[in-house]
Structure 1
Amino acid sequence: MRWFVLLLLFLGAVINFADKSIVGLAAVAIMKDLNLSYTAWGLVGSSYYWLYPVTGIFGAALADRLGAKKILGFLMLTWAVLQFGVLAITALPLLIVYRVLLGVFEAPFSPVAYSHANKWFPPKLRGFANSVVVSGGTVGAMVVAPILVALIATLGWKVAFACLGAASIVWFFLFQFFTKENPVEMYKEKQKEKKVKLEKLKLKDFLKVLGSPTALFTTFCYFSAYFLVVWFAVWLPIYLVEVVQLSAAQMGYSVAIIGVASILIYVGVSMLSDHLFKKSQNWRQSRVYVVAGAMIIGAIVMASSTVFQNPIWVVVAMCLAKGLTYAILPIGPTIMINELPERGGLMTSILTSSGNLAGIVGPLLTGSLIALAGANKIAGYNLSILFMAGLVLVFSILFAIFVKPISAKKNEDVSNGKVVGDEGQGNDSVLV
């Protein structure tokens, strides 16, 4: 059952990020249809994240109380309604309203999905499980790009959006009727105990956890990586066409190649992290140093694309940059949940929502840089790439220095008939 749950969480992430990224793939068509400038397009990209941090925290906190199954099902239905609503968009204001609402109801998905996977998998597999969920985002944003580009070209961008709405409806029925909320019945008793703890949690204690170097610099590092997440979703397709001079078809295949390669890279990094954790039980060696090292290399490689702008190298550099920099996305939630396990959904929502603040600034910054560059668009894109690479480099170094996760938590999880603590030690328990 846990693997089926993980499969659906993966597919949910595919839909989630396809919803986010299709606007980038359809950028040329939308800008032409609605007569939008680069500055206006930056506003469109930014609008998705205006309420994202707030609703992400609220939705994940609600899932801690009501259950992930109910919240995820509700979210999927709202996505379907909004995607079908695209058929009525005729001007920039309506497009912005659509993007704001989509961000409102898509924000809780990632933190709730990470928390839900956390319930189904033992600590030694959580890095891998979260990397699978993250890879769903890459598949949705990049690997399915040729399919979405073909839909946009043949059916038009509005119908392509509606097709994603239909996919949300299919996922809703599969998740609601073929999965369970928890691994075993005894876990429900643990949830009842957690609800009591939630009510007794003092704000002062909670803020102390959030202000700790571990939570603070994990969030900063995630924030820096999310500049790339947004850039890849909103600007990469246009960058490949206008700067690298690829055709629409070549752009679609290049985006897919970058997506597939990056999945292999960050899943590999997550598996390495899990392996080292299982072997040493050392959080800093297995989680912090592995992630920081990967991100530092990724930032340097991405910066190199501004110097060596051969199309082949640009694609290779983007593969490495995306794969290595995204290492924080699956590992960051495990670190945050470890700091306050009884508030898993809330902790991950603060991480992802704080990171998504980059979504507000990133598209506007890139759009402004391109507009300021005037006829020299390449300079505008290069400045945005160097800014992101520098940000990731600085925060990944700070992450390596200051993040020291609590390594002695005695949290219990049920897996393969055992209750497993955060250190990977198992105790006999009721079988599933």
Structure 2
Amino acid sequence: MTDTRAVPETPILPREPAGAARRRAWTVVAMLVAFMVINFADKAILGLTADPIRHDLGLSATQFGLANSAFFLLFSIFGALGGVLADRIRPRWLLLGMVVLWSVSQSPMALGGGVAALFVSRVLLGAAEGPAFPVAQQAALSWFPNERRNLPSALITVGSTLGVVIAAPTLTWVVNHHSWRAAFAVVAVVGAVWALGWAFVGGEGSHTAAPSAATSDPTSGVGYRRILATRSWLGITAAYFSTYWVVALTIVWLPSYLHNALGYSTATAANLIALLSAVNAVALLGQAGLTGWLLRRGVSSRWARARVGGVVLVVSSVGCLALAAAQRAPLALLLLILGFGLCTVMATIAVTTVAELAPAGRRGGALGLMNAVVTTAGLIAPTLTGYLVDAHGTAGYQQAILLTGVLLLLGGTAAFTLVDPARDRHRLSA
């Protein structure tokens, strides 16, 4: 028996959607993958248009870093709030409202806004996108039982990487052939189109909190405070924090690092970022397949999820630490793929671990609060890197990557030593 079956989440529910419900489940997952594609295209656009924006608006590296960090000013707060609301309001409507706000927030820059508009639009976008990942996962996981969640969760996370794969070359082409303001218009229109489609096909599945679950699940009355105090929640949050630090650097500074430190053209840098995101996608799907296979064969999620993820983070740490000392572009590119291309598997591992740990009626809040803590990395990393670049030139990039390697090592250690969902779920039920 796996540890994931020790306390059934909702025993009377079917193991997997069947027939029309199953087709609906995967339609919803497909829409949520597209949702995350748009989400990360919205985030990535500022990094992809960094040089022309800095030139046109007269921004230093530190000021540009602050503009990116402005995105995260309300991101974490609204991420926590959105997660808690997802336990009370149907995620279908939360997701619809978010995307409408995304499109609205991109409009000022498309219509000629300056520095003040840039900061305001990024703050609004961050607030609207803060709950995106946990609420999308909440909606998707509601269609699947625990042992079947790895693939849909991974696919939604892959949507994040696909957002960069698609956005990097596409938006770079728009910038080169039209303008950076046209690129902002493109992401605004795409968001509006998705919202229209979701209004017709969005929804939630049956693996959510239900009256029957309250009597069969001894953890159903557990409050958020006890969940957040478990070693598993703390450990997986620390591990995911180190991963999100990498995500923030990738979105904001990786194009400039490839262009200014390694000497690639802007077009080549965009293609390399797309390649890195493709590696992320393969790693995510590979982890989902491996973890699901292990869980179905009775391996505890402590090993199948947390320790698999911990090993990956340590490997990524080695890649970043070596990259910090690399000087030649070919070797640096290989180490970049090793350091930045694998660690995003922790996003899926973190979500499915918390979903396993928390009772269904507290799942959205537990995910949202984890996301709120994790995404503070996005508030810190861009500004700190901008300061290092201003102070030390291209050597500042190397210093930022060295720090990233240390954080990944700490995150991998936390995942490997602290996380055991079965143990902590048992303690919550006591």
Same fold (TM over 0.5): yes
Which of the numbers 40, 43, 46 marks the counterpart of 1:20?
A: 43
Residues 351, 367 of structure 2: 8 Å contact kept: yes
Residues of 2 paired with 1:115 and 1:315: CA distance? 35
Residues of 1 paired with 2:120 and 2:263: CA distance? 32
Which of the numbers 218, 222, 231 marks the counterpart of 1:213?
A: 231
Q: 1:10 corresponds to which residue?
A: 33
Residues 143, 260 of structure 1: 8 Å contact kept: no
Which of the numbers 190, 195, 214 marks the counterpart of 2:210?
A: 190
- The alpha carbon displacement at 1:89 in A equals 4.7
Letter in 2 for 1:352: N
Are positions 1:403 and 2:426 aligned together? no
Which of the numbers 385, 391, 394 marks the counterpart of 2:401?
A: 385
Which of the numbers 104, 109, 129 marks the counterpart of 1:86?
A: 109
- The alpha carbon displacement at 1:192 in A equals 9.2
Letter in 2 for 1:332: A
Residues of 2 paired with 1:252 and 1:225: CA distance? 21
Which of the numbers 227, 252, 257 marks the counterpart of 2:275?
A: 257
Are positions 1:175 and 2:198 aligned together? yes
Are positions 1:102 and 2:122 aligned together? no
Q: 2:389 corresponds to which residue?
A: 370
- The alpha carbon displacement at 1:351 in A equals 1.3
Residues of 2 paired with 1:228 and 1:191: CA distance? 40
Residues of 1 paired with 2:25 and 2:201: CA distance? 12
Residues 142, 204 of structure 2: 8 Å contact kept: no
Which of the numbers 295, 303, 310 marks the counterpart of 2:321?
A: 303
Q: Deviations over 1:190-246 (max 9, x none)?
A: 27977xx9xx957xx421221111111111111111110000000000000000100
> 3-state SS of the aligned residue for 2:224?
helix
Residues of 2 paired with 1:162 and 1:192: CA distance? 47
Residues of 1 paired with 2:201 and 2:58: CA distance? 45
Normalization by structure 1: what TM-score? Answer: 0.88
Residues of 2 paired with 1:270 and 1:15: CA distance? 22
Q: 1:277 corresponds to which residue?
A: 295
Structure 1 residues 231 and 408, CA, compared in 2 at 3 Å: closer, same or farther? closer
Residues of 1 paired with 2:112 and 2:379: CA distance? 22
Which region of structure 1 is more displaced relative to structure 2, 252-261 or 398-407? 398-407
- The alpha carbon displacement at 1:281 in A equals 4.0
Structure 1 residues 51 and 189, CA, compared in 2 at 3 Å: closer, same or farther? closer
- The alpha carbon displacement at 1:262 in A equals 1.7
Normalization by structure 2: what TM-score? Answer: 0.88
Letter in 2 for 1:46: S
Are positions 1:230 and 2:248 aligned together? yes
Q: Deviations over 1:63-91 (max 9, x none)?
A: 22111111101111111111222224543
Which of the numbers 369, 372, 378 marks the counterpart of 1:353?
A: 372
Residues 259, 319 of structure 1: 8 Å contact kept: no
> 3-state SS of the aligned residue for 2:297?
helix
Q: Deviations over 1:141-181 (max 9, x none)?
A: 24431111001112211111111111111111211112333
Residues 262, 320 of structure 1: 8 Å contact kept: no
Q: Deviations over 1:327-378 (max 9, x none)?
A: 11011011112222221111111111111001111111101111111xxx23
Which region of structure 1 is more displaced relative to structure 2, 89-98 or 8-17? 89-98
The number of residue pairs the alignment matches comes to: 399
Q: 1:267 corresponds to which residue?
A: 285
Residues 243, 344 of structure 2: 8 Å contact kept: yes
Q: Deviations over 1:87-127 (max 9, x none)?
A: 24543222111101100001111000111111112222212
Residues of 2 paired with 1:119 and 1:346: CA distance? 14
Structure 1 residues 262 and 313, CA, compared in 2 at 3 Å: closer, same or farther? farther
Where structure 1 has 5 or more consecutive residues not aligned to the other structure, the ranges are 411-432
Q: Percent identity?
A: 28
Which of the numbers 68, 87, 105 marks the counterpart of 2:91?
A: 68
- The alpha carbon displacement at 1:137 in A equals 0.6
Which region of structure 1 is more displaced relative to structure 2, 236-245 or 120-129? 120-129
Structure 1 residues 368 and 123, CA, compared in 2 at 3 Å: closer, same or farther? same
> 3-state SS of the aligned residue for 2:421?
coil
- The alpha carbon displacement at 1:406 in A equals 2.1
Q: Deviations over 1:234-277 (max 9, x none)?
A: 00000000001001111111111111122111221222111111
Where structure 2 has 5 or more consecutive residues not aligned to the other structure, the ranges are 1-23
Q: Deviations over 1:22-48 (max 9, x none)?
A: 100000010001000011011011111
Structure 1 residues 87 and 408, CA, compared in 2 at 3 Å: closer, same or farther? closer
Q: 1:426 corresponds to which residue?
A: none
Letter in 2 for 1:255: I
Letter in 2 for 1:107: G
Residues of 2 paired with 1:169 and 1:90: CA distance? 20
> 3-state SS of the aligned residue for 1:307?
coil
Are positions 1:323 and 2:337 aligned together? no
